[in-house]
Amino acid sequence: MSAELFPGYDVLAKREGLSWNDATRRVIDQRLAVSNEPKFFSTEEWLTLEALCRRIVPQPQNRPEVPLAAYIDRAMLEHGDAGTRIEPMPYDGEAWKCALAAIDAEALAAHQVAFRDLPAQAADALLAGMQNGELTDAAWGNVPPKLFFAKRVLVDVPAAYYAHPTAWSEVGFGGPASPRGYVRMGADRRDPWEAAEGKPGNRALALRDNRHVR
């Protein structure tokens, strides 16, 4: 998928080239194969999570969305009940479930509809209240809204987005440095297998170069 800043660039064109090795190909294939449906969250939680993700990382309408909710869902399925726990919150999976229920409770109390049915301005205002620690519904339990927003929402949602090749193409990222590595590390220098930015006056040149990046 071409990106406006890097015209004609598609990181997936590198799949069979020298830039990626078998380990990279396996990882990317697994990410692209994730089905856009819940396996950890309930249907209601999933719908709330999808609405939340769309407010945190709005995506262009001219291409398929990166399945943010699915990536978070699979991460919670795989390790949401283990690892480091942020005091006083429970492990990540339980914290997400609690927060999603609380977000809906806040929306229902303030607007009489679920979070996914809120207009954009009201949804953003509710999220700003979470960010500022102003939400107080009992459904939050031992998940402080401000802490959850900082440590989970602002971590998990962007991380899910930038784990996907679509986002890599948008920012001109070539993928893992293995096996080629990156050599030209100076400002405004790039290796031949990196994307060219379509700056004013050189967009046609960048388009030509990016169609041949491997």
Task: Tell me, yes or no, whether 193 and 111 share the same domain.
Answer: no
Instruction: Read off the tokens for 10.
Output: 């598609």
- Could you tell me the pLDDT band of residue 83, with boundaries at 50, 70 and 90? confident
Count the Cβ atoms, other than its own, within 10 Å of residue 89: 20
Task: Tell me, yes or no, whether 108 and 202 share the same domain.
Answer: no
pLDDT of 163 > 70? The answer is: yes
- Asked if residue 174 lies in contact with residue 168, where contact means CB atoms within 8 angstroms, the answer is yes
Task: Tell me, yes or no, whether 85 and 20 share the same domain.
Answer: no
User: What is the model's pLDDT at position 2?
Assistant: 44
Task: Tell me, yes or no, whether 114 and 190 share the same domain.
Answer: no
Q: Examine residue 6 and state whether it is found in any structural domain, yes or no.
A: no
Task: Tell me, yes or no, whether 49 and 153 share the same domain.
Answer: yes
User: What is the model's pLDDT at position 212?
Assistant: 79
Task: Tell me, yes or no, whether 142 and 122 share the same domain.
Answer: yes
The SS3 of residue 20 is strand
Q: Examine residue 125 and state whether it is found in any structural domain, yes or no.
A: yes
> pLDDT tens across 7-22, in order?
999 999 888 888 889 9
Domain C-terminal end among 148, 163, 178: 163
Domain C-terminal end among 163, 179, 199: 163
Residue 172 backbone class (left: φ over 0; alpha: ψ -120 to 50; beta: rest): left
Domain that holds residue 62: 36-163
Q: Examine residue 175 and state whether it is found in any structural domain, yes or no.
A: yes
